[in-house]
A and B are shown apart, each in its own frame.
Chain A
Amino acid sequence: MIRPISWRSGWIAGLACLFAALAVNRPPLAQEAGLLEKRESLYNNIFVFGDKELVTMTFGQNKRYYTESSMRLSDPGALSVGYTRYMTLGVAYPAKLERMLEIGLGGGRTVSYLNAALPDTAILAVELDKDVVELAKKYFRFTESAKLRTLVSDGRSFLLRDNDRWDVIMIDAYRGPFVPFHLLTKEFYTLVKSRLAPGGVVVQNIEPSTMLFDSATATLASVFPSVDLYGAEGNVVAIAYEGPSLRQADLLARATAAQERYKLRYDLRTMVAVRRVLGRPTGKVMSDDFAPVETMRAIEQHNEKWKEQTEAPR
């Protein structure tokens, strides 16, 4: 005999269903397929998506996902996000490559690639979010070693406290769509410059679709006499250094030497060929005192407009 469910137990069951439904915190349906893990860290909402071919780490913000890192499972050594190949161009500039610093780890693909190709170079990745480091290890085959270490800290406060000098400092610190303002000011770049070894370079990934780009490059140029820009599949990679702008032939010679020595998969010589030199910065220099990043990134501009500020290298 089937007993009818009593009013009371039905009510409790209903409530239990409601709580169960609330407990499952769903991302929007369109992207739900392939979600491997969602983590609400102290700083980010991190979503790792994956299928048989590709694993992607994204930060969710304003109902959108911003790709921080991705890896092809059949070819984990590839740099599948286009601009990250250009982040490795810092290798072509300095005379020596003993120590490299990266601010902003993501999935750790770029530093893993460099670590594999440059086994004698000590690489330190400073990452704000310890959950990002854990997820990089869990899903992106990131492993630490004596020559590839991570440190959990804000990038700027790390540089303030640490007095080491670096041959290359790579900055790729995005929180979702944006770089925090304190990593875009004149005072920050002055600090970065003071932590570069002689001949060292800073490499930064800058998103060119808003007015903030103009200010970021102008600010870099206010601290570093030479700024090179590389258009890289929608992003721009800026490389800034002390001293006069390198002649293209000299840079190509350095890139050739580095390429022959390290046998990099993404040829430095090819990438050097798309170099543009920042000649006429048009943006307003940002300082700790005045950095209206929220206003500037609200003003969109055409993606290729950044080239107007540059000239061909000599």
Chain B
Amino acid sequence: MSPSLLRGLLLFVIAVVLGFALMGFEMLASRYLNPYFGGTINTWAALIATVLVALMAGYLLGGALVDRTMSPRLCGVLLVVAGVYLFSIPLWVDPLFGWILVRMGDGVVGTLLAATALLLLPLTLMSVFTPFAVRLLLTSVNVGGRIVSYVYGVSTVGNVLGTLVTTFTLVPSFGSRALTMAFAVVTAACGVIMVGCGRFLRGDAK
């Protein structure tokens, strides 16, 4: 297997895993929010909007960082930070949400603030990966379209699996806190791999 093929494979595997963890955690976030802000369409609207804002921020940040640095290690460090944040959520989520509810109520302000505290930072850092993967795989503008489509396609496969498997298999079998920590570990592990294989992932990309 040629190094460039191996590099592509590794990045696609990371894309699937991160895509899984990202949507899996979005589904879990509803379990954190519902006890405080109700299990209604309002809560889902706040949740989905926050996730989309995080994706937007992550893509913008990732694009800017990768063009400046071309450093897979930087992306890896950001993923480790996302993992640490996710891992810490079960420690503070209940007191924080209780405080938000009492201070701001369960309307749009309180619910959006809670969803932001839960999701914005880790999901932004996780979605930084996508532009990094595109740039690292981009060896020629002639294949640019395909590279972008593969990276988005593969990570969306991860999104779909994360949504379905988390909802129909993981949540009925394990606690939300344990699953959050598992997603945290997986995310951090992707980051560690990117730090460890930084030189290899950077490869001959120009």
* Interface residues in chain A, defined as those with a beta carbon under 8 Å from any beta carbon in chain B: 42-43, 128, 153-154, 156-157, 160-161, 180-182, 185, 187-188, 287-292, 294-295
Task: Point out the residues of chain B lying under 8 angstroms from A185, CB to CB.
Answer: 35
Task: Point out the residues of chain A lying under 8 angstroms from B36, CB to CB.
Answer: 156-157, 160
List 30 contacting pairs A-B, 8 Å CB cutoff, sorted by A. A42-B40, A42-B42, A43-B41, A128-B38, A154-B37, A156-B35, A156-B38, A157-B36, A157-B37, A157-B101, A160-B101, A160-B102, A161-B101, A161-B102, A161-B105, A180-B38, A180-B39, A181-B34, A182-B34, A185-B35, A188-B35, A287-B175, A288-B31, A288-B35, A289-B175, A289-B178, A290-B174, A290-B175, A291-B31, A292-B172
**Nearest 7 pairs between A and B by C-beta?**
A154-B38, A292-B172, A289-B175, A290-B175, A295-B172, A182-B35, A157-B106
Task: Point out the residues of chain B lying under 8 angstroms from A287, CB to CB.
Answer: 175
Query: Is there contact, CB below 8 Å, between A294 and B172?
Result: yes
Known interface pairs A160-B102, A182-B35, A187-B35; A154-B40 also in contact (CB < 8 Å)? yes
Looking at the assembled complex, report how far the CB atom of B66 sits from the nearest CB atom of chain A, in whole angstroms. Answer: 38
Query: Is there contact, CB below 8 Å, between A157 and B41?
Result: no
The answer to whether B171 has its CB under 8 Å from any CB of chain A is yes
Report Cα–Cα, A42/B38, bound state, in Å.
Answer: 13
Report Cα–Cα, A99/B39, bound state, in Å.
Answer: 27
**Chain B residue with Cβ nearest A158:** B106
Looking at the assembled complex, report how far the CB atom of B204 sits from the nearest CB atom of chain A, in whole angstroms. Answer: 47
**Chain A residue with Cβ nearest B42:** A42
Query: Is there contact, CB below 8 Å, between A153 and B106?
Result: yes
Looking at the assembled complex, report how far the CB atom of B184 sits from the nearest CB atom of chain A, in whole angstroms. Answer: 15
The answer to whether B177 has its CB under 8 Å from any CB of chain A is yes
Identify which of residues 34-72 in chain B touch chain A, using a CB-to-CB cut-off of 8 Å: 34-42
The answer to whether B98 has its CB under 8 Å from any CB of chain A is yes
**Chain B residue with Cβ nearest A156:** B35
The answer to whether B176 has its CB under 8 Å from any CB of chain A is yes
Task: Point out the residues of chain A lying under 8 angstroms from B42, CB to CB.
Answer: 42
Task: Point out the residues of chain B lying under 8 angstroms from A161, CB to CB.
Answer: 101-102, 105
- The 8 Å CB contact of B176, one of A128, A160, A188, A290, is A290
Query: Is there contact, CB below 8 Å, between B98 and A160?
Result: yes
- The 8 Å CB contact of A289, one of B39, B173, B177, is B177
Task: Point out the residues of chain B lying under 8 angstroms from A294, CB to CB.
Answer: 172
Report Cα–Cα, A187/B36, bound state, in Å.
Answer: 11
Looking at the assembled complex, report how far the CB atom of A64 sits from the nearest CB atom of chain B, in whole angstroms. Answer: 20
Report Cα–Cα, A145/B173, bound state, in Å.
Answer: 47
Task: Point out the residues of chain A lying under 8 angstroms from B39, CB to CB.
Answer: 180-182
Known interface pairs A156-B35, A160-B98, A161-B101; A43-B177 also in contact (CB < 8 Å)? no
Identify which of residues 94-116 in chain B touch chain A, using a CB-to-CB cut-off of 8 Å: 98, 101-102, 105-106
Report Cα–Cα, A45/B78, bound state, in Å.
Answer: 45
Looking at the assembled complex, report how far the CB atom of A132 sits from the nearest CB atom of chain B, in whole angstroms. Answer: 13
Looking at the assembled complex, report how far the CB atom of A286 sits from the nearest CB atom of chain B, in whole angstroms. Answer: 11
